[in-house]
Structure 1
């Protein structure tokens, strides 16, 4: 089983570490697959324009440099740590109304796509590029912050279009997502070093993108409460108790 974290932000959006710093940070902790998933915000909305002004988002201009840097650091990560680094983005559609907000991770993306496209168009573009789609923190994150409920509220029509749904984000496990019957993944939504202590996923796969995607779709995974001091693996079946989810 390979230790992974597939939702990580760098200084290209609102993260605290550069991409080279992230490679060393995770590589030294023996992670074997990570995905860099910086925010790619809408350009036409008020909140999207604010993110652009504050330089908290990827842009059409910065995107090629972002991919090139990830490509370079991925080569170094494999050579120094035996770690696979996947290029990704977090398509960020924020509204003043949480029910209209949605964040979608696209892992393995190769070309720029505008976040101003609607949800179905974005998911179609992700699939066209052979990338993996993940619904990011689709329910309440249990924290005082912007929430993103649109994907969850429309999950019945999106079930076959989204490859996996985050069942945990950071330290919080989402019981309602676990009980949904959807394909699951747990990530940290990493922005700063303290957030390494969070739920993660171990995946039964080989060290390549295609094998990882297949294992996620087949749910050959375990969730782990990761801490720098102590880590506890929990299989899908172990999480089910008479009272519901045990964690």
Structure 2
């Protein structure tokens, strides 16, 4: 059986596309480089929107990237079931594209935050989290200036009641996200947005842990067994 093909989109200002591609490779899939200005997803089985500062975060984080030609293809494919993972800036792009509800605003302390962060897996049933167990604690780096997740109370209640909160911060909330939300998913569970960076926790030599690799092995296992 051929390896699963997982696309990684590069926007102007992407910083972690190479790291995401490496994580995909370590998980056993073939990373496929995708350019923001293209119109072709190249037959991929899943896609990662990496962290960074797409288009310099001008206007608002992720607000310009949502209009990239390739994002039109991603939105249509996601609505058709394509697995999509947005990490940090990618999470912001998914919210701006209305694939996920809410928004990511400047951190409560108005400072860039970079630290190893404890998380709790709240939903282990998505295509990106199935290798974890509910309640499992992870240590994954965060690095963001606009990581404060906000939504109206009705949306927050719906996310909690429907199990669409994927991860929560433990201990100190690093950015003031409402309800300690670190990641959410759409109703179908194929689109996940995550503010921490799992691609920076896939090797013991360079990361605080290998806790992030499960996001990538989850999708590979799901694709192989599909």
> Aligning the two structures, in what range does the TM-score lie when normalised by the shorter sequence?
0.3 to 0.5
Q: Which one scores higher on RCO, CA 8 angstroms, separation ≥ 6?
A: 2
